[in-house]
């Protein structure tokens, strides 16, 4: 086995990014390279780990340089693993961890060794699973690590994929060519360095979980409400993107934008939501229909307590379709948001949650708690690609 230990420069702040979320002394990142996809017919030729020691981040590579050192690199990795609380990986829950486990079991059984499986003793953090819900919102073609890195503006030195490197590894075992060794190590090294950049997903996840507040709002062009956001705590994703709420059930109205827009500008540490405004007459439906009369001439429902003052008008018993009052004003769609009063377009006969709007009244705009709640709801649903 060869052990390659690279000390990373502390001049790149991206290497310290994960420290905003986890104690670096408790976090280990890892990735494996194998000779195939099946642990029963393939083996591990390289394990890479990122760890911090003596104040510096290291990329350590355990290289099976002779084709026979797999037991040693797995044993060494498990010895490293025992000192950590969190294990960060990319799709490791589905591939890397099960593969290592199966190879460990096979080696113990065949060689009579007693390498301890320490995966159950550590909390696993799969970056692939964290970013998967945001695939549509970020406009990613797929969820390969290289694709996500390109989205984040990372340019790799390595241009080969894991499948192509299998033959390179066997060529290395035969000829011990330094170029082949360099190709193998560089690919894994780029994977390991890329993990530092992928930790921006943690910020995106916090954004989705509602770690934000609106700081300002204004109406733009008379047809859009813009909410400016800041993050709590002050952690901003190092990425820029724009995404809309994907709601195929909404009908297209040529006089209003169909979906709210979330814009995150990582370079200037700013984000905002732009919400389309609808103007006109909307209906507010009363739920306790038994306490209301509907007055056709007034096209509105009134409480029975007011019947005496409205005796000059003909009335009928109110029902779900006519137990409403009308209001002219400015409204934004609620997109399924439950809090706050719900208003509906004037032609609505059967109100549905998905069609509800909220009025841009002084009551709503001055209620910072409600606006915050609504903002978090919209951001969460945009990022979820719903």
* Percentage above 90 pLDDT, the chain: 66
How far apart are alpha carbons 63 and 46 in whole angstroms? 5
Based on the domain organization, do 63 and 148 belong to the same domain?
Answer: yes
pLDDT of residue 249: 38
Task: Look up the domain containing 248 and give its range.
Answer: 214-286+323-386
Based on the domain organization, do 196 and 233 belong to the same domain?
Answer: no
How far apart are alpha carbons 207 and 63 in whole angstroms? 38
Residue 254 — very low, low, confident or very high, per pLDDT cuts 50/70/90?
Answer: very low
pLDDT of residue 277: 94
Q: Is residue 112 part of a domain?
A: yes
* Structural domain count, the chain: 2
Based on the domain organization, do 380 and 249 belong to the same domain?
Answer: yes
Based on the domain organization, do 136 and 231 belong to the same domain?
Answer: no
Spell out the SS3 assignment of the chain.
CEEEEEECCCCCHHHHHHHHCCCHHHEEEEEEEECCCCCCCCCEEEEEEEEEECCEEEEEEEECCCCCCHHHHHHHHHHHHCCCCEEEECCHHHHHHHHHHHHHHHHHHHHCCCCCCCHHHCEEEEHHHHHHHHHHHHCCCCCCHHHHHHHCCCCCCCCCCHHHHHHHHHHHHHHCCHHHHHHHHHHHHHHHHHHHHHCHHHHHHHHHCCCEEEEEEEEECCCEEEEEEEECCCCCCCCCEEEECCCCCCCCCCCCCCCCEEEEECCCCEEEEEEECEEEEEEEECCCHHHEEEECCCCEEEEHHHCHHHCCCCCEECCCCCCEEEEEEEEEECCCCCCCCCEEECCCCCCCHHHCEEECCHHHHCCHHHHHHHHHHHHHHHHCCC
Based on the domain organization, do 200 and 218 belong to the same domain?
Answer: no
Residue 58 — very low, low, confident or very high, per pLDDT cuts 50/70/90?
Answer: very high
Based on the domain organization, do 157 and 24 belong to the same domain?
Answer: yes
pTM of the model: 0.79
Q: Is residue 306 part of a domain?
A: no
User: What would the pLDDT profile of 142-152 be if each residue is shown by its tens digit?
Assistant: 999 888 888 88
Based on the domain organization, do 182 and 269 belong to the same domain?
Answer: no
Choosing from 137, 171, 206, the residue where a domain stops is: 206
Residue 246 — very low, low, confident or very high, per pLDDT cuts 50/70/90?
Answer: low
pLDDT of residue 208: 81
How far apart are alpha carbons 366 and 291 in whole angstroms? 31
Q: Is residue 191 within 8 Å of 145, Cβ to Cβ?
A: yes
CA 76, 95, 38 angle in degrees (round to 5)?
A: 90
Based on the domain organization, do 91 and 224 belong to the same domain?
Answer: no
pLDDT of residue 259: 62
In 3D, which of 187, 194, 191 has the Cα closest to residue 152? 194
Q: Is residue 226 part of a domain?
A: yes
Q: How far is CA 269 from the centre of its chain?
A: 18
pLDDT of residue 142: 94
Based on the domain organization, do 183 and 243 belong to the same domain?
Answer: no
Q: At which residue do the structure tokens 């990372």 appear?
A: 154
User: What would the pLDDT profile of 79-107 be if each residue is shown by its tens digit?
Assistant: 999 999 999 999 999 999 999 999 999 99
For residues 67-75, give the mean pLDDT.
98
Least confident window among 5-19, 131-145, 223-237: 223-237
Q: How many CB atoms lie within 10 A of CB 342?
A: 20
For residues 164-183, give the mean pLDDT.
96
In 3D, which of 278, 282, 279, 275 has the Cα closest to residue 259? 275
For 220, the token pair is 């733009």
Least confident window among 135-139, 256-260, 284-288, 363-367: 256-260
Residues linked to residue 60 through DSSP beta bridges, in sequence order: 5, 49
Q: Is residue 310 part of a domain?
A: no
pLDDT of residue 251: 35
pLDDT of residue 253: 36
Q: Is residue 146 part of a domain?
A: yes
Sheet holding 261-265, edge to edge: 212-220, 224-231, 270-276, 261-265, 241-244
Q: Is residue 311 part of a domain?
A: no
User: What would the pLDDT profile of 33-45 be if each residue is shown by its tens digit?
Assistant: 999 999 999 999 9
Q: Is residue 312 part of a domain?
A: no
Contacts of 223 (CB under 8 A, 6+ apart): 256, 257, 276, 277
Residue 248 — very low, low, confident or very high, per pLDDT cuts 50/70/90?
Answer: very low
Q: Is residue 305 part of a domain?
A: no
Choosing from 136, 171, 206, the residue where a domain stops is: 206
Based on the domain organization, do 171 and 227 belong to the same domain?
Answer: no
Choosing from 146, 180, 206, the residue where a domain stops is: 206
For residues 251-256, give the mean pLDDT.
35
CATH number of the structural domain spanning residue 157: 3.30.420.10
Report the mean per-residue pLDDT for the chain.
90
Q: Is residue 46 within 8 Å of 61, Cβ to Cβ?
A: yes
Based on the domain organization, do 155 and 20 belong to the same domain?
Answer: yes
Based on the domain organization, do 223 and 276 belong to the same domain?
Answer: yes
Q: Is residue 260 within 8 Å of 326, Cβ to Cβ?
A: no
């Amino acid at each position: 086995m060869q052990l390659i230990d690279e000390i990373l420069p502390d001049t790149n702040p991206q290497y310290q990014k994960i420290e905003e979320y986890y104690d670096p002394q408790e976090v280990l990142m890892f990735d494996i390279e194998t000779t195939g996809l099946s642990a029963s017919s393939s083996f591990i030729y390289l394990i890479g780990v990122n760890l911090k020691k003596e104040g510096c981040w290291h990329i350590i590579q355990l290289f099976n340089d002779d084709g026979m050192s797999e037991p040693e690199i797995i044993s060494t990795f498990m010895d490293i693993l025992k000192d950590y609380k969190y294990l960060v990986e990319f799709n490791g829950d589905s591939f890397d961890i099960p593969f290592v486990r199966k190879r460990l079991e096979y080696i113990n059984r065949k060689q009579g060794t007693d390498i301890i499986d320490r995966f159950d003793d550590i909390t696993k953090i799969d970056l692939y699973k964290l970013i998967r819900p945001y695939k549509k919102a970020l406009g990613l073609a797929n969820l390969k690590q290289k694709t996500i890195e390109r989205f984040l503006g990372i340019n790799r030195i390595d241009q080969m994929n894991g499948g192509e490197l299998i033959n390179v590894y066997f060529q290395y075992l035969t000829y011990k060519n330094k170029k082949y060794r360099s190709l193998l190590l560089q690919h894994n090294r780029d994977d390991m360095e890329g993990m530092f950049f992928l930790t921006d997903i943690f910020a995106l996840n916090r954004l989705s979980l509602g770690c934000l507040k609106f700081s300002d709002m204004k109406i733009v062009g008379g047809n859009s409400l813009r909410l400016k956001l800041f993050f709590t705590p002050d952690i901003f994703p190092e990425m820029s993107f724009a995404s809309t709420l994907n709601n195929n059930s909404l009908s297209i109205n040529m006089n209003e934008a169909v979906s709210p827009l979330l814009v995150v500008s990582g370079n200037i540490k700013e984000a905002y939501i732009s919400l389309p405004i609808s103007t006109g007459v909307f209906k507010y439906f009363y739920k306790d229909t038994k306490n209301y009369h509907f007055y056709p001439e007034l096209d509105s429902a009134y409480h029975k307590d007011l019947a005496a003052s409205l005796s000059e008008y003909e009335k009928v018993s109110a029902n779900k379709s006519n137990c409403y009052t009308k209001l002219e004003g400015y409204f934004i769609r609620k997109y399924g948001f439950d809090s706050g009063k719900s208003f509906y377009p004037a032609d609505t006969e059967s109100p549905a949650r998905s069609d509800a709007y909220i009025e841009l009244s002084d009551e709503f705009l001055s209620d910072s708690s409600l606006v915050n709640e609504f903002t978090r709801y919209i951001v969460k649903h945009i990022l979820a690609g719903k």
